[in-house]
A and B are shown apart, each in its own frame.
Chain A
Amino acid sequence: MRHFMLAIRPALTWLSRTALYISGAGLVAMTAIVGWQVFARYVLNDTPSWAEPMSLQLMSWFILLGAAVGVRESVHLGLDYVRHYAPAPVQRTMDLLSLGLIFLFGLAMSFYATLLSIGTWTATIPVLGWPGGVDFFPMIGGGVLIAIFAAERFLDVMLGAAVAADVLVQEAA
């Protein structure tokens, strides 16, 4: 198991970096699109109606890929109080429970988002004209990534390995 983790670690690191960069590119693209919307409205006197639905699509990818990276890098937006003062074995159990549930939640997100995508496929997204199901692609992809990274950390905790990337990032308060 330890060998397996060592073997796949570079691939997982690559995956999370790629997700982080795509998410960042999404933010830059959102900025450009909304900027264009303002410019077009005031300078060209013509509101591009695609700008809002397009930037919303990008935002969903931005959120879910970024949040998946957050799972791997252990971004905490929670109350770490009880856990912090618990004895080590209890802490370990809490972490396993927490990561195991996140893993299941990621899978459930992918599964139900797939159902939603199929169920809304025949509808069309206004203005963009894409199938309605496209709306759920970020949740399908993000759910899988969240499950993968939660599984990685679950196995790390179980094996007692040093946690992969324990960057504690501050939230945007």
Chain B
Amino acid sequence: MAYSILFGTFALLMMIGMPIAFCLGIASVATVLYMGLPPIVVFQQMNSGMNVFAMMAIPFFIFAGDLMVRGGIAARLIRFAAGLVGHMRGGLGQVNVVASTLFGGISGSAVADASAVGGLMIPQMAARGYDRSYAVNITVNAAIIALLIPPSHNMILYSIAAGGTVSVADLFTAGIVPGMLLAAALMVTAYIVARRRGYPAEPFPGLRRLGYFFLASLPGLLLIAIIFGGVRSGVFTATESSCIAVFYALIVALLVYRELDWHGFIEAVLQAVRTTAMVLLVIGTAASFGWLMSFLQVQQSMVILISAISDNPIIVLLMINIALLLLGTFMDMAPLVIISTPVLLPVVKAFGIDPVHFGVVMILNAGIGLNTPPVGTVLFVGCAVGGITIREAMRTIWPFFGASVGVLLLVTYIPGLSLWLPALFK
């Protein structure tokens, strides 16, 4: 009965449109009241949930990403990508994917990726005769790459939700190959669609200009090396690397490119507050919710329930993937990761699946959910930037969506794609 109150209240409150942080908190209070436990435990756990040093990486990475867009780092990476692959068939589509991959190397936010890359690429693509829907489709699918290529604050979120038992350095490393694979799959798809529709290729800018673009984007590329190298070698923790990214972005924007002013800085700070405070509050109330799930031994029941359906890890992973894709249609990424990780991790562990591998599967899966309505944050941003309706975007998204789901299946069933690279660093 306590189960039904916990999950029932949560689902009901979500349906009436309450922000998830409060759905989780209020469902927890309702459950402890029903069970006759002191409600104080809900707030104690909420406080503990918000007192995790690793969480600081989330506002820092968002803040750094915003500074990089305002400071001109993102624009130079995109120009470099344009020089690099613009001469391929469907050139600007290919540019879009490569730009997302490069931008993904300095930011972990798919929303930031879609607005930064989309904001520059979609108008250009429309001007060169590409369909706007094609431009939006490719932008929003390529934006998921940012979640897989390090840094990725969503992987930090997964690590926190897993109780800090999964190494962030391993997760960061594990995302690289799947991220590259997704980039390759989207480039191939972009090529095929472009051929069929007869989209043009751009002229090659010449090695001299390409070299100049490369040099101009070097500060951004260097940051990729600093963050990944620093975290991997243990020179600093993920949290520290996110803080270094802020300082680095500030220095490049203020002293090298000189494109950031005081006003832009304040805007970036307030934007980071607005986008992350609620997510971090979700982590807090999810801790109370999670405490109750432990108290009611929900995880153990889940393991028993799923074992009763199938004892085959392939089927179990398929079921979990489908469940996550369905949940992902109407839940945003952060709450989905925070809530489902503590429930599903004991299940997959019981089936001998590696937590690092599962983390990559979960991030990619929840990332695809960012492009599925009714709640598809990245798709909405892409459509807003591209000036088209969601209906228009949905009509032609299928090849790209198919490529993303195809990569998800490969990543799910070939653990080596995720685990091969981290093993090299052992």
Which residues of A does B touch, CB under 8 Å? 20-21, 23-24, 27-28, 30-31, 34-35, 37-38, 42, 52, 55-56, 59-60, 62-67, 69-71, 73, 75-84, 94-95, 97-98, 101-102, 105, 108-109, 112-113, 115-116, 135-136, 139, 169-173
- Asked whether, in the complex, the Cβ of A170 is within 8 Å of the Cβ of B377, the reply is yes
- Interface range on chain B (Cβ under 8 Å from partner): 35 or more
Out of A38, A42, A83, A173, name the residue touching B377 (CB < 8 Å): A173
Q: How far is the CB of B171 from chain A (nearest CB, A)?
A: 17
What chain A residues lie within 8 Å of B58 (beta carbons)? 172
- Asked if A31 meets B277 with Cβ closer than 8 Å, knowing A55-B56, A59-B55, A170-B381, the reply is no
- Asked whether, in the complex, the Cβ of A171 is within 8 Å of the Cβ of B39, the reply is no
- Asked whether, in the complex, the Cβ of B276 is within 8 Å of the Cβ of A66, the reply is yes
- Asked if A79 meets B330 with Cβ closer than 8 Å, knowing A56-B51, A62-B277, A70-B274, the reply is yes
- Asked whether, in the complex, the Cβ of B13 is within 8 Å of the Cβ of A27, the reply is no
- How far is A20 from B266 in the complex, measured between Cα atoms in Å? 11
Contact with A along B87-113 (1 / 0, CB 8 A): 000000000000000000000011100
Q: How far is the CB of B371 from chain A (nearest CB, A)?
A: 10
- Asked if A75 meets B278 with Cβ closer than 8 Å, knowing A34-B56, A62-B273, A63-B284, the reply is yes
- Asked whether, in the complex, the Cβ of A27 is within 8 Å of the Cβ of B18, the reply is no
Out of A31, A95, A97, name the residue touching B246 (CB < 8 Å): A31
Say whether chain B's binding surface is mostly helix, strand, loop, or mixed.
Answer: helix
Contact with A along B229-265 (1 / 0, CB 8 A): 0000001100110011011000000000000000000
- Asked if A170 meets B55 with Cβ closer than 8 Å, knowing A27-B269, A31-B247, the reply is no
What chain B residues lie within 8 Å of A67 (beta carbons)? 21, 277-278, 280-281
- How far is A24 from B272 in the complex, measured between Cα atoms in Å? 8
Residue of A28, A70, A135 contacting most chain B CB atoms (<10 Å):
A70
Out of A20, A30, A60, A109, name the residue touching B51 (CB < 8 Å): A60
What chain A residues lie within 8 Å of B334 (beta carbons)? 77, 171-173
- Asked whether, in the complex, the Cβ of B275 is within 8 Å of the Cβ of A172, the reply is yes
- Asked whether, in the complex, the Cβ of B18 is within 8 Å of the Cβ of A98, the reply is yes
Q: How far is the CB of A152 from chain B (nearest CB, A)?
A: 16
Complex: chain B residue closest to A95, CB-CB = B17
